[in-house]
Amino acid sequence: MIEPYQAIGLVPTMWGIHHRDDIRRNLEHLDHLVTASTWLGGLDLPVRLVAVPEGALQGFNDEVLDLDHETFARDCAIDIPGPETDELGRLARKWGVFVMAQAKARHPEFPGRFFNVGFVLDPDGQVVLRHHKLVPLLPVEHSVTPHNVYDRWVELYGATLDAFYPVADTEIGRLGIMMANEGSYPENARGLAMNGAEVVYRASFPHRSSDAFVVQTRARALDNNFFVIAPNVGTYYLTADDDTPIDTFGGHSMIVDYLGRVVGEHPYSGGSSWVAGTIDIHALRHFRANARWGNWMKDLTTEQYRLIYEQPVYPKNLYADRAPYKHDEYRREVLEPQVRRLQERGIYAPVDGAGPDPAPTLAPEVTVPAPGPPPAAPVATPGS
């Protein structure tokens, strides 16, 4: 039986980067924060899991400053594994914990591109899971997703749950990753749950004008009967030499149990701190096996749900042969045509009773030539 343990979600200060070398300052800060949070957080139960929120290594300057994708891929994106994950692995070994984290990272099969990658390190410092973010902050985030290069991704890794929703089966439970805006779409949580996930990482999310982060995080946990560890980042300095601290994301870091109950919360993020909560895998598994009503997945009528997704909506292979759009290009070429598409299908009603506003016609889906044979083992599997 897996004994109950403490999970820590870090709420770090972060400095945006101009170059990969700038990550060093963020790593030094995380070293101090892991030390403080793991020591204090482990006074009652052993800490077995530490979550480092999205943005903690590199900030979000690629999207905030609308930077060129290929330049960021060359100068700022990391490799996984690499020196940065080695440093986090050192902390994992020092404290005997699993570390869940995120970085903008390169991929050997897609030269000149970077993905938003969530990863898990075991207590030996080894990478045991890589998840490539499926839904970035679409109006502004420049990361490539598997859907953006869908045909090639499927050729490399197959059209399977492991290819898109990998889960690592570990000594502290089955771990999965659902970063930031991925949690805005229930399907991403359900994909992880259908692949066996029990503890899911969800960070970071700017939600200054609504309760979206709280509502979505609790709903995803309840819908799928898994724990969600959801730390938000703290103070953001745009660059390493900036002296203007900004609470960009708005706090509400939390840990939520398999019934959607908040078991740890830290509402403030104007500084550096952490959130702690208890993970009880035995209780989760007992509930899933014995509940007659609230263990929802046993009741899925999948045949009728397929009808919802028969027609494609968002264009696949969007970046199969080009770099991601800049902000204005994305609005003009993708966002506005997507709204028009939903209006024309009758899914969105016209504004004020009028017909849909004129907008550029969405370009046909991109196709890519057949590549060479795929590698023997996929990157995005739990054992990678």
> In the structure, what pLDDT confidence band is assigned to residue 368 with cuts at 50, 70 and 90?
very low
Instruction: Indicate whether 366 pLDDT > 70.
Output: no
- Parallel, antiparallel, or unpaired for β 235-237 and 246-247? antiparallel
How large a percentage of the chain has pLDDT more than 70?
91
Provide the 10 A C-beta neighbour count for residue 30. Answer: 24
Per-residue pLDDT, averaged over 227-244, amounts to: 94
Do residues 266 and 11 make contact, with C-beta atoms less than 8 angstroms apart?
yes
The pLDDT, as a whole number, for residue 353 is: 58
In a domain, 18, yes or no: yes
The pLDDT of residue 354: 56
Structure tokens at 68: 């060129």
Q: Is residue 334, in this structure, part of any structural domain at all?
A: no
Average pLDDT value for residue range 12-29? 97
**Confidence check: pLDDT of 380 > 60:** no
How much is the average pLDDT of 282-301?
97
The answer to whether residue 150 is domain-embedded is yes
Find the domain containing 184 and state its range.
Answer: 5-302
98-108 pLDDT, tens digit per residue, is 999 999 999 99
Pick from 56, 57, 51: nearest CA to 20: 57
CA distance 62 to 143: 9
CATH of the domain at 148: 3.60.110.10
Asked if the structure places residue 232 within a domain, the reply is: yes
Q: How many CB atoms lie within 10 A of CB 217?
A: 27
- Does any domain span residue 87? yes
pTM: 0.91
The answer to the question of residue 331 being in a domain is no
Mean pLDDT across 226-247: 94
Question: How many domains is the chain partitioned into structurally?
Answer: 1
Residue 227 placed within a domain: yes
Q: Could you tell me if residue 328 is inside a domain?
A: no
| pLDDT tens, position by position, 320-335 | 999 999 999 999 999 9
What element of type H or E holds 101? strand 98-106
Residue found under tokens 């679409």: 138
pLDDT, average across residues 138-160: 97
CB atoms within 10 A of CB 226: 26
Q: Which residues contact 233 (CB under 8 A, 6 or more apart)?
A: 11, 12, 14, 53, 54, 55, 56, 203, 204, 248, 249, 269
